[in-house]
Amino acid sequence: MSSAGISFGGLASGLDTQAIIRALMAVERRPITQLETKKTTLNKAKSLFGDLDGLLDKLQAAAKALKTTTDFLKMKVASDDEDVLTASAAGSAAPGTHTVRVNRLATAQIHASTGSASPTSTFGSAGEFLLTVGGHEVVVAMSDPSLESIAAAINDEASRQRLNVRAEVVDTGNAGNARYQLVVRATETGSAGAFTITAVVGEQSFTDLMAGLVGNQISAARDSEVVVNGIVVTRSTNSVTGAIAGVTLDLKSVPSPNKDVTITVSTDATETAKKVQEFVDAYNKVVDFFTDQNALDAEGKAKSPLFGDATLRSMRSALRNVVGARVTGTGNEAYQMLAQLGIKADTQGKLTFTQSKLEQALADDEQAVAAVFTDATAGIARRLEDQIDVYTDSVDGLLKTRSDGFDRLVKQTQSRIDRAEDRLERYQKQLETKYANLESLLTRLQGQGSSIPSIGSFGSSRR
């Protein structure tokens, strides 16, 4: 008897039927093992496409960071006296020098009452007044007015009406009757934060307290004033925008004697180069992924289940076409390709970046250099972002389609495995029954064989 390469010539006492069954089952399990290997390969392939999706997301983010001129051209600004003012610049700022004279800093309005011996002592049985902030009027009323209850009433109304004013009781530490003061202050500098207290009603002690508060102005609501390139500019804060396009001036002090401060705006080639390097690094990681999938092991076999994958070949070619394209709308033929900016591709498609060449190009024609990435129709950053969308779109992107395909194949393979396992289980039961019957038959045959000598002896005794 033989089955799938396993043979045995006859049955004998002590036959290891379990070993025979295991051997036969191992042969029958080979197709299931192959299916399980296929399933593992499919899951690994799907996982690799997930890895690629993550790499493409990072590349797309790096491209987006270079998509607009304001993103690409990082500007820097320097003040020749940072004790007077500092400055920052957005990408929309234009290179150049500017003179700024700080005439006045913006200040917030602050009033303080005369000192009182206690924060809780009352000034009559009731009191109220009209608080006006930014043209918005509100009546502030309280019973048993004290420094603390007045401050609480102001803060409650300010919170309810969203007024830029705040009150607090300050412990000055002074001995005697002048230790505590009620302080009312604007939370916004400049004229925009100005407030008034009028129409005070209450007992004499209350009206005297409020008169002292109104009359004791610690700080007036004043706008800042600067002279920028000969033009007088006022703002309600000490942060001045709009006076120099794309530049924010942060005022620190008014020097004495007053003087002009020089502001210099220039391209920050180092920061721009940093973002370009991040783009190059992200792109090269995608290229490395493509290369790794086509690698062979020491025996010359494919190391990846995506070896020779047509989708990867198509993607690699499309991305190379984007980064190698010429952008004709830069206005300068000297700067229309990445290679002219110090970004070159090697034979494997990986990019190398020479920062000094980019900095030289920026110094020569920064707008043309920026347009290579940011041109509205053919800019490389914009085209790359659009191309990656084709791959990574969560609804109908190419990677989503491939991932769904792997899921279907895995499901189909698992279904085949399940059916094969059922057949194998039935086959095992058949074998166990078959060999159990054989063992039973062997036992009976052996029993019959052992009785034959006894029959012969019985016949001889009769003769």
Residue 168 lies in a domain: yes
- What's the rounded Cα separation, in Å, for the pair 213 and 182? 8
Q: How confident is the model at residue 449 (pLDDT cuts 50, 70, 90)?
A: low
Instruction: Kindly state the average pLDDT of the residues 170-184.
Output: 91
Q: Residue 244 pairs with which residues in a beta bridge?
A: 247
Q: Mind listing the pLDDT tens digit for each residue in 89-123?
A: 987 888 899 999 999 999 999 999 998 999 999 99
Residue 324: exposure state from Cβ atoms within 10 A (0-12, 13-18, ≥19): middle
| Residue 195 forms part of a structural domain | yes
- Whether the per-residue pLDDT at 59 is higher than 80: the answer is yes
| Claim to verify: residue 86 and residue 156 sit in the same structural domain | no
pLDDT at 463 (0 to 100): 52
* pTM for this prediction: 0.64
Q: In terms of domains, do 115 and 214 share one?
A: yes
| 245 shares its domain with 373 | no
Task: Specify if 442 maps to a domain.
Answer: no
Q: Which pLDDT band, with edges at 50, 70 and 90, does 276 fall under?
A: very high
Q: Flag whether 93 is in a domain.
A: yes
Domain extent, residue 158, equals 110-219
Mean pLDDT of the chain: 88
Q: Does 462 map to a domain?
A: no
Mark whether 320 and 385 lie in a shared domain.
yes
Question: Could you say which of 237, 267, 297 is where a domain stops?
Answer: 267
Do 174 and 288 belong to one domain?
no
Q: Are residues 95 and 236 in the same domain?
A: yes
Q: How far apart are the first and last CA of the chain?
A: 45
Assign 2 a pLDDT band (cuts: 50, 70, 90). Answer: very low
Same domain for 325 and 378? yes
pLDDT, one tens digit per residue, over 119-164 is: 999 999 999 999 999 889 999 999 999 999 999 999 999 999 999 9
Per-residue confidence (pLDDT) for residue 331, from 0 to 100: 92
> How confident is the model at residue 446, as a pLDDT?
67
pLDDT at residue 415 greater than cutoff 90: no
Residues 321-379: tens digit of each pLDDT: 999 999 999 999 999 999 999 999 998 899 999 999 999 999 899 899 999 999 988 99
Which band of pLDDT confidence, cut at 50, 70 and 90, is reported for residue 14? low
Name the domain boundary from 375, 400, 425.
400
Mean pLDDT calculated for residue range 164-181:
92
- Domain check: are 235 and 92 in the same one? yes
Say yes or no to pLDDT of 13 above 60: no
pLDDT of 8 reads 41
In a domain, 375, yes or no: yes
Worst-scoring range by mean pLDDT, 103-107, 175-179, 241-245? 175-179
Q: How confident is the model at residue 385 (pLDDT cuts 50, 70, 90)?
A: very high
Strands 75-79 and 195-202 come out as unpaired
Q: Are residues 396 and 275 in the same domain?
A: yes
**Domains in the chain, number:** 3
pLDDT digits (tens, 9 = 90+) for 184-220: 999 999 999 999 999 999 999 999 999 999 999 999 9
CA proximity to 349, closest of 394, 393, 319, 387: 319
* Structure-model confidence comparison of residues 207 and 32, the more confident one: 207
Same domain, yes or no, for 339 and 360? Answer: yes
For the stretch 79-90, pLDDT in tens is 999 999 999 998
State which of 400, 425, 440 marks the end of a domain.
400
Nearest residue to 224 via CA among 177, 257, 191, 268: 191
Is 278 in the same domain as 331?
yes
Q: Note whether 186 and 117 are same-domain residues.
A: yes
Residue 414 inside a domain? The answer is no
Q: Which pLDDT score, from 0 to 100, does residue 15 have?
A: 60
Residue 235 included in any domain: yes
What pLDDT is recorded for position 452? 58
